[in-house]
Every structure is written in structure tokens, then in C-alpha cells.
Amino acid sequence: MAAQSCLQANDWICGEYVRTRGHELLDATVQHVGITAASVVIGLLVAFPLALIARRRRSAAGPVLGLTTILYTVPSLAMFALLTPVFGVSASVVVTGLVLYSLTILVRNILAGLEAVPEDVREAARGMGYGPAKLLFGVELPLALPAVMAGLRIATVSTVAMTTIGTVVGYGGLGNLISSGLESFFKAEVLTASVLCVLLAVVADLLLTGLQRLLTPWVRAQARAKSRARRGQRARKAVA
């Protein structure tokens, strides 16, 4: 009797599934990446002015942070149900929901980064003739980048995971395959799509980590200086 193929045997790991359904995996991955990227970029564009408002007007900080926190507590199914009458059954429902969820992380990290800039640095910049816009983009934002990038990494990885929930309206990227695989108990489809989702999150985090290192070379220089100072202190203690 001829041996069963992994598809016929419904194995969890099946190279034949990847070969024969490669176009489905590619389409789902492209949709997943597109929804994630759009959600994070729009979320960052919305979060930045909100963080500026919260920093410059202390009376607005509580409402802004409170609203973004409340939005994050709304269950995803309820969020998509509330947005569907506005956007219809489309990718816009998923993107809008993910943007709203990302604001909690992004607004808080941008605000924390800006507030961590030393006041004496601001005063020195003003003394050199920096106006509000130049001060923000030339001094404060570069120094706040580590915190901003940390928030962006968390928001991106979270969005990669939450995009799968978009399957409820047919725009869940790899979540569509996971859902259909669970319904039909198609093991290879469930596992392959899940692994690809995890890989997307890992790759996105690594890329953003690399971008952070590229944009903040002074952070590495400070770390090296501190490391040399600690080694010097240990050497002096050993000699003493």
C-alpha cells in the first residue's frame, strides 16, 4: 500500500502544504504585513501630537492618557463591531481598531521620552537661539528616541499578534488561515500560519532594534564609556 502524503495524513509539519499552498501563504503574509505597517505608522502619526498636547497642557494629560487606556480595554470583537457600521466590512475596520489599541503604548512612551529630556539641555538650546519647533525636532525628539523606539517595538509586535483577530471581518492576514485551519482541523495550515506570524513579530522587532541602534549611536557610546569606567573602578580597587 502506498504511503500517505503528509497532507493526506493531516500532519502538523508538512512541506507539501507549503509547496502547494505557497500562494495562499504569500497573499496572507503580504496582507498581514500591510495591515500591521499601516496601523503602526498611522498610530505613530496620531500618538505624536497627542503626546505633545499632554506634555504642554497638564490639564489635558489626564484625559488623553485616560482615553487611550479606556480604548485599550475595549474587547477586539466589540471594537470591530462598533467600527463596522462606519467603515463597512473592509481592512479599514482592522486598521482603525489596531491604531486605537496602539495609542496607549505609543502616547505613553513618547510622553515619557520627552519628559526625560533634562531641563538644562532645553535651557542651553534656548540660549543658542532654538525656537520651539527646532528645540523639539533638533534636541528633544532625538534624546527621546530610545523611549519612543521602545514603545514602537512593543506596539509593532503587539499589532502583529492582534492583526490575526481581523479574521472576524475577513482581513486578518495569517489569522484567516489560522481560523480556517482550526475550523477544518487542518493541522499544517494552523501550524504554518502560526509560525509565520511569530516570525513576522521577531523580524519586525529585530529590524526596529537595528533602526534604533542606527538612530541613537550616542547610546552605545555612553554604554561603552560606563563600561570602561566600571572596569577602571574595579582595577583601582584591585590595586588598592
If pLDDT is split at 50, 70 and 90, which confidence band does 1 have? very low
Q: Is residue 3 domain-resident?
A: no
Alpha-carbon span 100 to 85, nearest angstrom: 17
pLDDT (average), residues 214-235: 66
The cell for 136 is 523639539
Chain centre distance of CA 73: 17
Q: Is it the case that residue 234 has pLDDT exceeding 70?
A: no
Count of domains forming the chain? 1
Q: Is residue 8 domain-resident?
A: no
Q: Yes or no: say if 147 and 110 are a contact pair by the CB < 8 Å rule.
A: yes
Q: What is the pTM of this model?
A: 0.84
Q: What is the pLDDT of residue 237?
A: 64
Q: Yes or no: say if 65 and 57 are a contact pair by the CB < 8 Å rule.
A: no
The 3-state DSSP composition of the chain as helix, strand, coil percent (nearest 5) reads: 85, 0, 15
- The rounded mean pLDDT for the chain is 86
Predicted confidence (pLDDT) per residue in 146-166, tens digit: 899 999 999 999 999 999 988
Q: What is the pLDDT of residue 55?
A: 87
Predicted confidence (pLDDT) per residue in 108-151, tens digit: 999 999 888 888 888 888 888 888 888 888 888 888 898 999 99
- Using CA of residue 193, residue 39, residue 35, residue 87, what is the dihedral sign? positive
For residue 184, the enclosing domain spans 15-239
Q: Is residue 4 domain-resident?
A: no
Look up the CATH number of the domain holding residue 159.
Answer: 1.10.3720.10
